[in-house]
Amino acid sequence: MPAAERAEVMHRVGAEMESRRAELLEVAASETGKTLDQGDPEISEAIDFAHYYAFQSQELEKVDGARFVPSKLTVVAPPWNFPLAIPAGGVLAALASGSPVILKPATPARRCGAILAQIMWDAGVPRDVLQLVNTADRAAGRRLISHPAVERVILTGSYETAKLFRSWRPELPLLAETSGKNAIIVTPSSDPDLAVKD
């Protein structure tokens, strides 16, 4: 699909997510415990991803001297604790680059992943371009990640999961955002209650 058509579909994904905000809030709350003050900004971020990657997909064709070669298949493996924005961002980034995608949501966020996939299908992403895989079976997950047809994996999760994926297939391009701990400096002039909350 040419970049202009991909962009048009992704803009429709953003509009569809906006029109189904209440449904997304419900599923994030009921399945993963997201409160409204956490879920609403996450949905806004997912919508922003749709429009951002729509614009970026068109920029790919404007790079001087570059030859556009999308990955043949990308697997997106997001975490359970950001069940909407992170999977949407990974899927939309891969679609923007012209790659078909398999979305494998975390087991505790399977309904969130299913609704995101349905929204994308409803907005015009072809079902043969976006597939949804729901499995808690580790052996099936390993077969998916290590399958030779997969050319790229987008993972958000633990460092240990990234190492595990790498051990299954060392040469596989793995784009991994791994979790860690950030330091917070609390000064005497800070609000202690707010600092504890953060």
pLDDT band at 183 (very low <50, low <70, confident <90, very high): low
**pLDDT for the residue 180:** 63
pLDDT tier at 123 (50, 70, 90 boundaries)?
A: very high
Band of residue 192 on the pLDDT scale cut at 50, 70, 90: confident
Give the per-residue pLDDT at 194.
Answer: 81
- 3-class SS of residue 78: coil
Tokens found for residue 42? 């996450």
DSSP letters along 104-154, please?
---GGGHHHHHHHHHHHHHTT--TTTEEE-----HHHHHHHHH-TT--EEE
Helix (H, G, I), strand (E, B) or coil at 10: helix
Q: Quick one: pLDDT at residue 198?
A: 58
Confidence at residue 126, expressed as pLDDT on a 0 to 100 scale: 97
Residue 67 banded pLDDT, cuts 50, 70, 90: confident
